[in-house]
Structure 1
């Protein structure tokens, strides 16, 4: 790739990240090109589809989540590893509004540009769940697809106006439903009665 083309590529990703953070994954490709100071044809040469652009934006984050799963798997207790990874997953996927829906679609569509990275990331989370189940600290009637759906639901909540403030509480509720013990300080905190307003 020529130096000017590489510079355009990087600039498009930076601008696309900012636009999608503000407007969500359905942001106009034309608007992204305009804000990057290039024509739509230039954007489409680099990223022929919206999913190709999303994949380029998200690949690094998804790869980091996959690596993070391996890291916490070896450095943390099974229930803590699962909770830490899920918290990171939710934080990552709420960076770009609407990405949870795109991920769920991509999992079901092998032709999607996001499919491979989503499947790899889901497998990393599944390993953490399986490890927690083997340690008898997570319920056994869940599988990786269930975990991914629950985590994506938590990310979706972060996108909903008025629900952002409830996200942390609901994360604790979901974790207390997944884990079968109360050793974690986060789940213990969420179990405490809340003062009525």
Structure 2
């Protein structure tokens, strides 16, 4: 999930200088193997195994991704782009409260692709120095716009904050991750979220 990352990025921390061709190949292989490893084993998958499967040493991995959160940030970039695009599509929805909850549901879906991602995103929201904060910050800004519109319409209570909503959303994703035998759990919890958010108008989903 790194197609949104600049081709001039020499590490997961941000643009520096253009990569040599061999460095770019190593970067792309590492990212591909990380996606596979995180999907199969969760975000606590062995970074040594990721490097080995990419055909490079662990030192090469750390030159591109200084820590696990930096690698997770790079892996999550494509999903982040999709979530930001979806927030823009929902910005003009006729029912702002439902639009907000639909977007929160999309976060749950994407977080569920990698075991451990929801927990990591919850932690990143409290640590601005984490590389994953690069994902949390644009998500927070996009969600705040949807929330503000819903509050202005009167369909969401004025005392609701986007930080609380994102923490609740990640908690729902974590609960769904830990309860794989109940695939409807996330939808039920999101319905409860919708009911708790409501100010006036917009009946609950049914």
- The two structures share one fold, judged by TM-score above 0.5: yes
| Aligned residue number for residue 151 of structure 1 | 169
| Aligned residue number for residue 145 of structure 2 | 127
Moved segments of 4+, more than 4 Å: none
| Aligned residue number for residue 192 of structure 1 | none
1:88 to partner: Cα distance = 1.2
| Aligned residue number for residue 175 of structure 1 | 194
Which structure is higher in helix share? 1
Contact 2:155 2:202 in 1 (8 A): no
1:74 to partner: Cα distance = 2.3
Q: Which runs of 5+ in 1 are unaligned?
A: 190-197
1:97 to partner: Cα distance = 1.0
| Aligned residue number for residue 32 of structure 2 | 14
| Aligned residue number for residue 56 of structure 2 | 38
> 159, 164, 185: which is aligned to 1:166?
185
* Distance 1:116-1:76 versus aligned 2 partners, 3 A rule: farther
Cα deviation 1:156-185 (Å, max 9, x = unaligned): 12211334342222222222222345745x
Contact 2:33 2:53 in 1 (8 A): yes
- Tell whether 2:150 aligns with 1:115: no
Contact 1:62 1:118 in 2 (8 A): no
RMSD of Structure 2 on Structure 1 (CA):
1.9
> 119, 122, 133: which is aligned to 1:101?
119
Q: Take 2:190 and 2:122, find their aligned partners in 1: how far apart are those partners?
A: 19
Q: Take 2:52 and 2:25, find their aligned partners in 1: how far apart are those partners?
A: 16
Query: TM-score when scaled to structure 1?
Result: 0.85
* Distance 1:98-1:182 versus aligned 2 partners, 3 A rule: farther
- State the aligned residue count: 187
Contact 1:138 1:180 in 2 (8 A): yes
| Aligned residue number for residue 205 of structure 2 | 188
Q: Take 1:136 and 1:87, find their aligned partners in 2: how far apart are those partners?
A: 21
